[in-house]
Amino acid sequence: MIDLKTFIRQSTGRTADIYKLDRRGYLRSGYFADVLVFDPDAYAPRADYMRPRELSVGVRKLFVNGALAVDDSRATGVAAGRALLRPRPAHCAKS
């Protein structure tokens, strides 16, 4: 188990830094805003291998690229996300 502060840091800015994701992982002007507002006492993941699309409970709001994607634990139908393509390292040959 890790504390909430460490979990958030490792799931956001640190991950964006490791994978060199431009303008992601931090709440800064000009960055893509992915923001989760949740109740830590009520939060519980529901998805598993049999139900991978099941939403977690305790999620109050989820903004993806600044658009409201989840409102009171319910999907809004807004699909503002996009695939993040990592640049190919120079030492890797094209296939």
Is pLDDT of 85 > 80?
A: no
What pLDDT score does 26 carry?
92
- Is the same domain home to 40 and 73? yes
Distances (CA, A) of 93 to 19, 88, 89, 90: 19, 9, 9, 8
pLDDT in tens, 33-77: 889 999 989 989 999 999 998 988 999 999 998 899 999 988 899
Look over the chain and give the mean of its residue pLDDT values, rounded to a whole number.
87
Predicted confidence at residue 7, as pLDDT, reads 87
SS3 of residue 57 by DSSP: strand
The pLDDT assigned to 77 comes to 93
Closest listed residue to residue 39, CA positions, set 55, 57, 12 = 57
Instruction: Specify if 2 maps to a domain.
Output: yes
Q: How confident is the model at residue 89, as a pLDDT?
A: 65
CA 74 to chain centre: 16
| Residue 21 domain flag | yes
Asked whether residue 46 falls in the same domain as residue 67, the answer is yes
For residues 47 and 56, the answer to whether their CB atoms sit within 8 Å is yes
**DSSP E strand boundaries for 8-94:** 35-38, 59-64, 67-71, 74-75
Please tell me the predicted confidence (pLDDT) of residue 82. Answer: 82
Does residue 1 lie in a domain region? yes
Give domain status of residue 93, yes or no: no
Q: Report the pLDDT value the prediction gives residue 86, as an integer from 0 to 100.
A: 67
Looking at the structure of the chain, the number of domains it has is 2
> What is the C-alpha separation between 71 and 54, in angstroms, rounded?
14
